[in-house]
Amino acid sequence: MARILYLDDEEAIVLLMTRMLEILGHHAAGYTRALDALAAFRKDSASFDLVITDLSMPGITGLEFAQQIHAIRSDTAVAIASGHVDPHDVETALAQGLLAIVLKPQTIEEMSRTVTGLLEKSSAVTTADQ
């Protein structure tokens, strides 16, 4: 299964989502601070198949975090999670090469479909680039 980095500034959300991902059979590393998540990604970017980040966080937006992830490893699959999505955010995210904006909260079934779809998109993008 996939190795997923999950970032959200709310600890309860991180605990819930990483547990949900683990129940689905994925390895999930959850973070509440962007600097900690970036440090883990820098240390071993190849150990992550997918990054999911909250859109609105103090100090950094999910879009800015995604840019920093792509600066480290440009082929990283990144999706934004948000409870409220502005159409401008969707346009910006897709223009930056992000895979999707994921609405939260999600049921375990929705998370399973979302992650499967994101990983398939990521694989298709990687295959097309080769």
Q: Is-contact 6 52, C-beta < 8 A?
A: yes
Please report the domains of the chain, with CATH numbers, ordered by start residue: 3-129 (3.40.50.2300)
* Confidence (pTM): 0.85
pLDDT at residue 105 in the model: 66
Cα separation, 94 vs 108, in Å, equals 25
| Adjacent-strand bridge partners of 31 | 7
pLDDT (tens digit per residue) in 58-68: 999 888 999 99
Cα separation, 13 vs 74, in Å, equals 27
pLDDT above 70 (res 126): no
Closest by CA position to 103, among listed 31, 55, 57, 34: 55
Cα separation, 52 vs 91, in Å, equals 17
pLDDT at residue 130 in the model: 42
pLDDT above 70 (res 32): yes
